Structure 1
Amino acid sequence: MTNVQHVSLHHLSEQAVTKALEHRRTVATAESLTAGMVSAVLADTPGASGMLQGGVVAYQNSVKENVLKVSPELLADVGSVDSGVAAAMADGARAALGADIGISTTGVAGPEAHDGKPVGTVYIGVATGTGSTGFEYLFSGSRAEIRGQACGAALERLLEALAS
């Protein structure tokens, strides 16, 4: 992660924590691609204890199924890198951790393609009381850069969810 990325992530995190506290909303994360980076960046921000419920690192499909309750049929049909899986992961985190908003990340950081998806393919899931959805991204760069960009996208989607 470059210093510019770090500063940007810190800024996005500050905005998200402030907005969550203002609106008295809690957040849970479900991370595959980012392996805890989103919750770590949030936790680095003063005040995070008032809004961050917790997070699940769901690197393996068995964790997505058993902890986050992602349908094994969905994973078998589309693989782990999919917008529907991202939405289900976010919903699973929201339910398992008792949060108002769930945010998830899944994707391919490289160096090899995964589940037929090229390196840089990322999905961010968002779940609220009104439902869940997944958003597709295509990033480029090194493994670390792709993971950093995914973390930034997740924080941006969290900010959008907090604004609604």
Structure 2
Amino acid sequence: MSAGAVLEAARARGVMLATAESCTGGLIMAALTAVPGSSDVVDRGFVTYSNAAKCQMLEVAQATLDAQGAVSEDVAREMAQGALVRSQAGLAVAVTGIAGPGGSEHKPEGRVCFGLADAEGVVTETLEFGAIGRDAVRAATVDHALAMVLRRLRA
């Protein structure tokens, strides 16, 4: 997925972007800001690797983390909403997952939950990339997050 295409679509819609990232550690924002001139549509990124950071920076509810765990669509939803509220952006994308190595029977390596928030609401989804290795999971997560943003901008 091309970060440049995402930025062009955001410009065409007049929408600023924000990210809320856990398992990618800022790689989505890095992809966007690697494109010259991105500052006209990129507002900010939140790297919230720990649960405490998710709560403090994005207002993710501790009750949600306790009930669902950090890798859940509910947490991705709250991360995306928090990034939208705490930024000047009109669209925010969030990711939380298990890049590996590791995981469990209930939350396997390669599971990533995505959230996308804008004025129309929030959508979430979960993808199972599998145990393809930490770097590959993170790269696939960035690509999918950018694709989600582009689809929403073009809708």
TM-score (norm 2): 0.95
Which 10-residue stretch deviates more, 109-118 or 149-158? 109-118
Among 139, 144, 148, the alignment partner of 2:139 is: 148
2:38 corresponds to 1:48: yes
2:93 corresponds to 1:134: no
- 1:162 corresponds to: 153
Following TM superposition, the consecutive aligned residue runs of length 4 or more in structure 1 with deviations greater than 6 angstroms are: none
Q: Are the equivalent residues in 2 in contact too, given 1:109–1:120 (CA < 8 A)?
A: yes
Give deviations 1:108-157, integer Å, cap 9, x for gaps.
01111169400000011100012112111010311000000000010001
Which SS does the other structure have where 2:12 is aligned?
Answer: helix
Among 10, 27, 32, the alignment partner of 1:37 is: 27
Structure 2: runs of 5+ lacking an equivalent: none
Q: Which amino acid aligns with 1:110?
A: G
TM-score (norm 1): 0.90
C-alpha distance in 2 between matches for 1:16 and 1:117: 30
Q: What does 1:103-122 align with in structure 2 at a 5 Å threshold?
A: 103-113=93-103, 116-122=106-112
Q: What does 1:48-87 align with in structure 2 at a 5 Å threshold?
A: 48-87=38-77
Which SS does the other structure have where 2:109 is aligned?
Answer: coil
Structure 1: runs of 5+ lacking an equivalent: 1-8
Give deviations 1:30-80, integer Å, cap 9, x for gaps.
000100000000001122111100100000011111110011101100000
May I ask how many residue pairs the two structures share in their alignment? 154
Q: Which amino acid aligns with 1:145?
A: A
Q: Which amino acid aligns with 1:85?
A: V
Instruction: Provide the identity percentage.
Output: 32
- 2:16 corresponds to: 26
